[in-house]
Structure 1
Amino acid sequence: MSLLEVSHVSRAFGGLRAVQDVSLQVPVGSLTALIGPNGAGKTTLFALMSGFLVPDTGRVTFDGVDITGRAPHLNAALGLTRTFQIVQPFASQTVRENIAVGAHLQHAKRSDALHAAEAVAERVGLYAQLDKPAGDLTVAGRKRLELARALATQPKLLLLDEVLAGLNPQEIQDMLPVVRGLVAGGVTVLMIEHVMQAVMNLAEHVWVLAQGQLIAQGAPTEVTQNPQVIEAYLGHGTAARLRKTQQEAV
């Protein structure tokens, strides 16, 4: 059963067609990934899914409801929440207060939202830093906080936009079980990610976007061996040399 369905969605900015006739489905309870080179249109597609942009054509359905062009806060109330590539916490507020901002979607009283923030902080590894100003967090800490604020809305589907970007190898390793834990806790996850190690370790299914179009999909091991995907990432010349080297090795 699909929780999210994107059907023939397109969006242009002037003469630039950022997303072209994209269709995909996100099954309930899955952890899937959207990958592609820089400028492929991945974040634009996330914005179209979540309501921050309205598609020129096509339809977005979430949990059986047509949400095409529906405002982000209304989508969040339905259970569709996203994180952002550039993390911007409320620096002077504590970690607890930042997470409570997301929790207010489900909890009208401030005391309830602050209490809910504690459980979310524990899930993402920030419990010990609840009373620290958000501005004092490391890059890895701010990434966890961005995740926590989204998780505090109690989403059914969480769109993660490069939650591992800017982290060192150890920090990435530390974050992998946190992301797996989201799905174990009942949240469906679709992630944009450039860290292929994470994609290979986490994703059950991968969609590949290049120049606004889906060029491949499948299991991570299949997709990374796809000639079109290699070409999209490496360029025609490098991909051709790589194929020649592989043929000569055989």
Structure 2
Amino acid sequence: MAELLQLQGLRIAFGGLKAVQDVSFGVPAGSLCALIGPNGAGKTTLFALMSGFLRPDGGRVVFDGHDITGRAPHLNARDGMTRTFQIVQPFAAQTVRENIAVGAHLHEPRRAAALAAAEAVAQRVGLAPQLDKPAADLTVAGRKRLELARALATRPKLLLLDEVLAGLNPQEIGEMIPVVQGIADSGVTVLMIEHVMQAVMHLAQHVWVLAQGQLIAEGTPADVTRNERVIEAYLGPGAAARLAR
């Protein structure tokens, strides 16, 4: 399967902190994959490097066959790479429909057409009953769906999801998993940062594990959860041996 996204030796440091160190991997077109790791591992920084919010100190980002290293995020979005943010910040005074239309305007200049596209996207993410509600009135789960909808409205080829399930209760997580699966089933390539292992085990075909800015493991969800380096990255030195006993 052809790779839609390739990372080649990406690295960035902030002062003495090596946030991302020589990270390389490829995301196959049409796949649903996950990037996991403990807090502070560099996952969101890596997303920022992929999508153009940060310029790497070294390495390359290749998307759909083109070198886009350090290119502005709005240009990457126009070509089909869109990301969500862990901290959701909707336009609170606007309706759900108007918020989603902001994403649709990337390809649709006419307001009426953008609003119509917003309605179609809302159906896909379960927000149709709330289209005319002010975004400020949404629950946390509703805001997460709105963030997903705004990104989806840009018509992405690759959707980078940064902890779209964070802050949700078990029922809300269970309701969101099929929404993400449906997006992948529609042909959008999805790479998700996620701490909710239930979702990773259920959704991801392939997983990369980042710790202290370095890739330490990759494979199926079952493979990486058994990996000693992964266990110790999450639970501390000696954890794998203690669990084995």
Aligned counterparts of 1:40 and 1:60: Cα–Cα separation in 2? 19
Unaligned runs of 5+ in 1: 246-250
Give the letter for the 1:17 counterpart: K
| 1:164-193 superposed Cα distances (whole Å, 9 cap, x missing partner) | 000000000000100000011110000000
Query: For structure 1, which segment, 199-208 or 231-240, has the greater mean C-alpha deviation from structure 2 after superposition?
Result: 231-240
Give the letter for the 1:216 counterpart: A
Structure 1 residue aligned with 2:34: 33
Structure 1 residue aligned with 2:74: 73
Structure 2 residue aligned with 1:236: 237
Give the letter for the 1:151 counterpart: L
Helix, strand or coil for the counterpart of 2:198? helix
Structure 1 residue aligned with 2:90: 89
Structure 2 residue aligned with 1:50: 51
- Equivalent runs, 1:146-225 vs 2, <5 Å: 146-225=147-226
Give the letter for the 1:115 counterpart: A
Deviation at 1:77, TM superposition (A): 0.4
Structure 1 residue aligned with 2:64: 63
TM-score, normalised relative to structure 2: 0.99
Give the letter for the 2:178 counterpart: P
Deviation at 1:239, TM superposition (A): 3.5
Aligned counterparts of 1:106 and 1:240: Cα–Cα separation in 2? 53
Aligned counterparts of 1:3 and 1:216: Cα–Cα separation in 2? 21
Task: Tell me how many residue pairs correspond in the alignment.
Answer: 244
Helix, strand or coil for the counterpart of 1:105? coil
Give the letter for the 2:193 counterpart: I
Off by >4 Å, runs of 4+ in structure 1: none
| 1:132-151 superposed Cα distances (whole Å, 9 cap, x missing partner) | 00000000000000000000
Structure 2 residue aligned with 1:248: none
* Identity level (%): 77
Aligned counterparts of 1:123 and 1:67: Cα–Cα separation in 2? 30
TM-score, normalised relative to structure 1: 0.97
| 1:96-135 superposed Cα distances (whole Å, 9 cap, x missing partner) | 0000000000100111111100000000000010000000
